[in-house]
Structure 1
Amino acid sequence: MSSHNGPEQAGHGLIGGRYRLGERLGRGGTGIVRRATDELLGRPVAVKTLALDDGADPAGALREARVVARIRHPHVIVVHDVVEHDGRPALVMELVEGGSLADRLATGRVLSPRETARLGLDLLDALGAAHALDVLHRDVKPANVLLEKGSGRAVLTDFGIASLPGATTLSGTGVFVGTPEYTAPERMRGDDAGPASDLWSLGALLCAAATGTSPFRRDSLGAVLHAVVYDEIRPSEVMGPLVPVVRGLLERDPDRRLGAAGARRMLADCLAAAQEADGPEADTPSIAASRAEDARPVPDAHPEPTPRQPTPPEAHDPGGARERGAAGAGRRGGLALPLVAAAVAACVAAVTVAVLLAGDRRTTDTGAPTAPGSSSTGPAAAPGPVPAGYTAVSDERGFTLAVPAGARRSTDGDRVFYTTGDGAVWVGIRIRAIPPGGAIGAMRYADESGPGTNRGYRDATVEEIRHKGLPAARWEFTWDGFTAAEGPRHTVDLCWEQAGTLYDVWASAPVDRADEARGYFDTALGSFRTSGRTSGG
């Protein structure tokens, strides 16, 4: 949906036997959005009708409705109904009272780094929910992000050109699909595109949110396309701690681009650092528009580690995607505008050009960044009796515990992993400040985010418990795993509050080794000590 642009009056007819149309709220690429009243239920709604003069495909509206109906997420627009209007389908959606991010930026009100980080986390969750269902949005931009008045909730809308992975950048009639200054370079080249393309768009959106404009804004469409594919990308220093995550998301090679899990951790760290630095009295007019929003737990919605494991060859280049992309460069149809045709032709040449960002960030196959200084070494032994088959270790992060004999240590940001020799089972440890909402709040938020962060998330349970007399929460779930070859995994996680610190220990294994992982988990918890004291204080 486009921006809420004022009270231009439209027809006030009744459609679908119950929805009375009101003022026009905006116009997107596939239709016009109006305020309406559901006279049956007595509630306000938004109705998106296809513009009669833009050649919109009625089948596209139905497809959009079906796509959005599959994605149930608080940061994704809700479609209530589909009715007929002027012989075409009309979408009845939730009404988000408040303008779009584009509206806000148009008034010169950019977001602070703190607000931008929070917005990025919300949109990552929304995209994660879509990507888990193999849906690509393909038009992530400020005009398609609504900011709810009062609550500050960010809502991703306008799935009118959403598609399954592998869809072309051009429509069947040769018209460019998307918004060039927010479109990933691989889509400009006509290559196959996946979830990483939406993440590029998110990176450009975060730049716009914090600075007021996309980093690829130029005077002509041809110049925009050239900037996306060729020009050096220099995120503004005004973005402060957000610069590294934006650099990672705007990596031109999709195989090296920062993944969703890595971006989420970096944005959560930015938000936590900003909250600590600013303090509760330093809030600017926020997306949240209230301090209550700041009470939301900083998510750790994807506790799975990204240890360095041997990667199946097909994971590096699924089905020869690079070769298909290069060969497919000559199969694109003509564009509607000669200027676009010339610009895209120039972009095709870029398939042979490797443009690298400053601040190189390599990622694992799960999309999470490998933290600078990550280690993968044998654990240092610590004295003390341990069960047979285990080794007691004294970790440099300030804790001791018993891990499987032969386990190797690795780190990913503030998380530490001890992985069995075959790389299949691991124990993870994370130590951080207690987030708002405490242990149970963190676990409940992680569970809510689970479907968007763990493919095939299912059989989840979250319960509030006591661990050695301390407030704690336990979370278990099954998911589809990192690769089809590896198969489903099961994770068990327990975090507890102690002396102002949240301690989190979990174990993960293929489902057929879940009992083995539970044994490692129980032993790790029972043997965990910090600062010379028991975990129970």
Structure 2
Amino acid sequence: MRAAPGQVVAGRYRLTDHPDGRGMLAQDQQTGDQVLLYALDLPGLLVPGRAAAGPDPAHGEWIARRAAAAAECAPEHPRLLRPVEAVAEEDLLWVAEERPPGCSLAALAGAGPLPPYRAAEIAADLAAGLHELHRAGLAHGNVAPESVVVCEDGAALLGGLLLGAAEEELCAALGGPGDAAPTPLQARRILDARSLLLGPRAERWALETGPAADCWALGVLLYRLLTGRAPYPEDDLPTLLAAIRAGHPGPMDGCGPLAPLVERLLRSEVAARPGIAEVRRELATLIGAAPEPYGPRPQGVQELPVRRPRGPLVRHPNGPAIRRSRPERVVAHRPSALPPALLGPLLVAGVLVLLVVALVLVVSLAG
């Protein structure tokens, strides 16, 4: 990015010293809001028989207008980040999008695979935003970890709509002029431009366009969050495209309860792939059945037994039955060896014997 922190670009955005992936955080001088700013190189002009000329300012403004037109019809939704502006300045196309406080999903996923139910929560937020776009007759085209912000409250917001539109318009412009269907040569140029601009990132290389491509990209994103890797090899673009065309993603072992949904999202046949409304229903059902707490029980951790006091249950006069903390001492009584009928006569005889002994002692002392 050809700009330094503190510099104002596009006459409106003051850059900060906090980069965020490919973009850089900036402050909108008009509104005071924080935005995420991207810089795309505008192509130079190649004229046969002449030296290469610099970018045409009018051509850059035309690309910016087309990118803005592709995003300005996007509906407002709590799970969609707001596109701000695309503006050409000299040899750069600046793209600004809303950036609330939070963490990029790419940074969050870089720490390792997410628990299945947390990944399902994030996917449900993204599916809600995509559902609103699809209802409006639009497609996103840039569903990727770098386009998602996870806010402080855990909600996932989908951005990158304006950036994706600008990148596609820039690649189309590099393919050649005209709004008609590209010729084979132009299609090859567009492919070369996309390979240089986007790189071998699986989410951006669906075999089709439109809402079905968004659902496929959501499946790729879910697989990446759950396993820590892409479902297709990303060593280079030819290898990636060959694997996508073959329709054989990686094993679903690490996807847990989301494996059936991810497998269907990654199907090559569009008719066999669930729509975004069905995806939302399945995610809601899965989240509703989530155990607490999220994630597997840590290995080596055992639950301590709950010790209960011994002793009989004693009902409190003013409350429920409770268990005494200490057992009371119980004294055992042995049954008498004599029958109860003989106890009275024996007692009388004993008294008489004592009286006789007392008389004998008195007579002896007196004599």
Range class of TM-score, shorter chain: 0.5 to 0.7
How far has the Cα of 1:134 moved from its partner?
3.1
Contact 2:102-2:149 at 8 Å conserved across structures: yes
Question: How do residues 526-537 of structure 1 correspond to structure 2 at under 5 angstroms?
Answer: none
| Residue 140 (structure 2) pairs with residue 147 (structure 1) | no
Q: 1:224 to 1:46 in 2, by over 3 A?
A: closer
1:418 alignment counterpart: none
TM-score, scaled to structure 1:
0.43
Contact 2:97-2:160 at 8 Å conserved across structures: no
Q: 1:80 to 1:137 in 2, by over 3 A?
A: closer
How far has the Cα of 1:240 moved from its partner?
1.6
| Residue aligned with 1:20, SS | strand
1:12 alignment counterpart: 6
How far has the Cα of 1:104 moved from its partner?
1.8
Q: 1:23 to 1:171 in 2, by over 3 A?
A: farther
Letter in 2 for 1:186: L
1:68 alignment counterpart: 71
Uncovered stretches (5+) of structure 2, i.e. residues with no partner:
46-54, 170-179, 296-367
Letter in 2 for 1:208: R
C-alpha distance in structure 2 between counterparts of 1:9 and 1:148, whole Å: 27
Contact 1:235-1:246 at 8 Å conserved across structures: no
Contact 2:35-2:99 at 8 Å conserved across structures: yes
| Residue aligned with 1:208, SS | helix
How far has the Cα of 1:78 moved from its partner?
0.9
How far has the Cα of 1:140 moved from its partner?
2.0
1:175 alignment counterpart: 192
Bigger fraction of residues in helix: 2
How far has the Cα of 1:35 moved from its partner?
1.7
How far has the Cα of 1:231 moved from its partner?
5.4
| Residue 154 (structure 2) pairs with residue 137 (structure 1) | no
Greater RCO structure (CA 8 Å; 6+ sep): 2
Q: 1:48 to 1:241 in 2, by over 3 A?
A: same
| Residue 253 (structure 2) pairs with residue 237 (structure 1) | yes
1:44 alignment counterpart: 34
1:464 alignment counterpart: none
Structure of larger gyration radius: 2
Counterpart selection for 2:207 from 186, 208, 221: 186
2:228 alignment counterpart: 212
C-alpha distance in structure 1 between counterparts of 2:9 and 2:85, whole Å: 12
Moved more, 220-229 or 200-209: 220-229
| Residue aligned with 1:160, SS | helix
How far has the Cα of 1:61 moved from its partner?
3.5
Letter in 1 for 2:33: R
Q: 1:272 to 1:167 in 2, by over 3 A?
A: farther
C-alpha distance in structure 1 between counterparts of 2:202 and 2:11, whole Å: 41
1:35 alignment counterpart: 25
C-alpha distance in structure 2 between counterparts of 1:93 and 1:139, whole Å: 13
Moved more, 99-108 or 150-159: 150-159
C-alpha distance in structure 2 between counterparts of 1:127 and 1:161, whole Å: 14
How far has the Cα of 1:111 moved from its partner?
1.6
CA shift digits 1:204-240 (9 cap, x unpaired): 1100011111111243333222221225335433322
Q: 1:176 to 1:131 in 2, by over 3 A?
A: farther
Counterpart selection for 1:122 from 96, 119, 125: 125
C-alpha distance in structure 1 between counterparts of 2:78 and 2:151, whole Å: 12
1:391 alignment counterpart: none
Question: How do residues 503-518 of structure 1 correspond to structure 2 at under 5 angstroms?
Answer: none
| Residue aligned with 2:232, SS | coil
2:107 alignment counterpart: 103
CA shift digits 1:343-382 (9 cap, x unpaired): xxxxxxxxxxxxxxxxxxxxxxxxxxxxxxxxxxxxxxxx
| Residue aligned with 2:207, SS | helix
C-alpha distance in structure 2 between counterparts of 1:213 and 1:184, whole Å: 16
Q: 1:8 to 1:256 in 2, by over 3 A?
A: same
Question: How do residues 272-283 of structure 1 correspond to structure 2 at under 5 angstroms?
Answer: 272-274=288-290, 277-278=291-292, 282-283=293-294
How far has the Cα of 1:117 moved from its partner?
1.1
C-alpha distance in structure 2 between counterparts of 1:54 and 1:235, whole Å: 44
How far has the Cα of 1:84 moved from its partner?
5.2
Counterpart selection for 1:269 from 261, 271, 285: 285
Q: 1:176 to 1:126 in 2, by over 3 A?
A: farther
C-alpha distance in structure 2 between counterparts of 1:101 and 1:54, whole Å: 34
Letter in 1 for 2:16: G
CA shift digits 1:143-198 (9 cap, x unpaired): 2222223443332324434479x9889586443646552256634xxxxx331121
| Residue aligned with 2:271, SS | coil
2:337 alignment counterpart: none
Letter in 2 for 1:49: A
How far has the Cα of 1:48 moved from its partner?
2.8
2:81 alignment counterpart: 77
C-alpha distance in structure 2 between counterparts of 1:150 and 1:215, whole Å: 29
Contact 1:83-1:90 at 8 Å conserved across structures: yes
| Residue 95 (structure 2) pairs with residue 91 (structure 1) | yes
C-alpha distance in structure 2 between counterparts of 1:273 and 1:258, whole Å: 21
Q: 1:99 to 1:167 in 2, by over 3 A?
A: farther
Q: 1:270 to 1:232 in 2, by over 3 A?
A: same
C-alpha distance in structure 1 between counterparts of 2:111 and 2:2, whole Å: 19
Query: Identity rate of aligned residues, in percent?
Result: 27
How far has the Cα of 1:200 moved from its partner?
0.9
How far has the Cα of 1:75 moved from its partner?
2.2
Name the Cα RMSD after superposition: 3.5
| Residue aligned with 2:64, SS | helix
2:346 alignment counterpart: none
C-alpha distance in structure 2 between counterparts of 1:204 and 1:53, whole Å: 31
2:212 alignment counterpart: 196
How far has the Cα of 1:82 moved from its partner?
4.6
How far has the Cα of 1:199 moved from its partner?
0.8
C-alpha distance in structure 1 between counterparts of 2:247 and 2:279, whole Å: 23
Contact 2:150-2:157 at 8 Å conserved across structures: yes
Contact 1:21-1:36 at 8 Å conserved across structures: yes
2:19 alignment counterpart: 25
Contact 1:146-1:157 at 8 Å conserved across structures: no
How far has the Cα of 1:264 moved from its partner?
1.3
Q: 1:83 to 1:235 in 2, by over 3 A?
A: same
| Residue 271 (structure 2) pairs with residue 255 (structure 1) | yes
How far has the Cα of 1:262 moved from its partner?
1.6
Contact 1:114-1:271 at 8 Å conserved across structures: yes
Letter in 1 for 2:68: A
Uncovered stretches (5+) of structure 1, i.e. residues with no partner:
1-6, 188-192, 285-537
